[in-house]
């Protein structure tokens, strides 16, 4: 049965959308009117490299069995959808029209699957050690999440690396690292059945007889998506320097011993919250993957472009680590650097 899925965010969200479309499900992308007009006219193009091929393939939404459309937030009828994907950068949810749509989603009690780096605040409330923690400071506008029931929010570890080529249209996405979306389950078993159905449908897709990378993998543990925190604190946020941004590769491999110590410390924070070591990704595997990440992280590019707000997983991890008695001076130093660069952007106007 074809499911109808609403995805907020047409950039990174187009990757997850393409996977659903290939599996025969229907997707609506929420975006600006100009981008919606482009997608409704031309569709989307996601470039991805299959395992045994030397170059990327272009996968066009118009060629896929599922139906794709796009619309601005004010035009969305939430009653049409079985599942919501949250694929925008966390600061974007503070936009007024997005906030109004989020209220409608919360009131409709739709299950929401986040592929944000920044975990939605209600998701963190599902972790008993954080249920009463004061973490609002890490969010651009924490009130966005007030109406959501924690059990209706799940989180993917957004491991696939992708970007919009600057010379291309807003409907094009290039996948640099085609790893899997690793999702935790919901509180309601009916919603988990939907997740596992989507997991199986995506897994069954072939392209010219070949397996297609970037799967949806569902895990019972709430802590599997938190494995991304170690990667973000070791690589992505350390791309932000007092001067020019550096690549993820250089951030990780410039001082590999220091990187490993940061990575393992964040792993330890997750374990203190309840994660099992099997929920986590070994540092060696991450360091190997980082060798191919030759661009600065999206957070670093945003800061370099003058953005006054970005997703603050660095600050979130700092707040949690201090609360549970596991502070780390390198994490604190990263937060100070990011704070300084964002303040510079605000001062510049």
- State both tokens at 303: 């800061």
Per residue in 48-98, pLDDT (tens digit) is 999 889 999 999 999 999 999 999 999 999 999 999 999 999 999 999 999
Q: What is the pLDDT of the chain when averaged over all its residues? A: 96
Query: Of how many residues is the chain composed?
Result: 349
pLDDT of residue 349: 67
Q: Is residue 345 pLDDT above 90, yes or no? A: no
> What predicted TM-score, i.e. pTM, was given to this entire model?
0.94
Per residue in 213-237, pLDDT (tens digit) is 999 999 999 999 999 999 999 999 9
Burial degree of 150 (CB within 10 A; 0-12, 13-18, 19+): middle
- State both tokens at 275: 């994660």
Question: Please, where are the H alpha helices in 166-278?
Answer: 189-203, 227-231, 248-253, 256-273
């Amino acid at each position: 049965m074809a499911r109808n899925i609403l995805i907020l965010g047409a950039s990174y969200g187009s990757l997850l959308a393409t996977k659903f479309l290939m599996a025969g499900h229907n997707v609506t992308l929420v975006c600006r009117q100009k981008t919606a007009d482009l997608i409704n006219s031309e569709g989307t193009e996601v470039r991805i490299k299959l395992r045994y091929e030397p170059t990327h393939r272009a996968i066009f939404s118009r060629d896929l069995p599922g139906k794709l459309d796009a619309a601005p937030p004010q035009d969305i009828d939430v009653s049409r959808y079985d599942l919501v994907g949250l694929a925008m950068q966390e600061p974007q949810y503070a936009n007024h029209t997005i906030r109004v749509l989020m209220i409608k989603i919360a009131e409709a009690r739709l299950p929401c699957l986040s592929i944000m780096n920044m975990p939605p605040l209600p998701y963190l409330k599902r972790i008993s050690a954080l249920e009463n923690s004061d973490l609002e400071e890490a969010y651009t506008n924490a009130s966005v999440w007030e109406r959501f029931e924690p059990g209706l929010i799940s989180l993917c570890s957004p491991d696939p690396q992708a970007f919009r080529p600057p010379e291309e249209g807003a409907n094009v996405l290039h996948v640099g690292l085609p790893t899997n979306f690793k999702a935790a389950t919901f509180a309601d078993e009916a919603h988990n059945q939907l997740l596992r159905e989507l997991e199986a449908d995506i897994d069954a897709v072939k392209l010219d007889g070949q397996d297609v990378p970037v799967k949806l993998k569902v895990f019972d543990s709430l802590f599997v998506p938190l494995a991304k925190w170690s990667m973000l604190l070791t690589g992505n946020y350390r791309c932000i320097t007092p001067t020019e941004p550096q690549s993820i590769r250089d951030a990780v491999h410039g001082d590999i011993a220091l990187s490993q110590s940061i990575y393992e410390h964040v792993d330890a924070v997750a374990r203190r919250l309840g994660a099992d070591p099997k929920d986590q990704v070994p540092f060696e595997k991450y360091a190997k993957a980082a060798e191919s990440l030759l661009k600065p992280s999206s957070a670093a590019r945003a800061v370099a472009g003058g953005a006054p707000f970005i997703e603050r997983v660095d600050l979130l991890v700092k707040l949690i680590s201090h609360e549970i008695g596991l502070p780390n001076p390198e994490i604190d130093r990263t937060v100070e650097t990011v704070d300084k660069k964002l303040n510079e952007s605000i001062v510049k106007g």
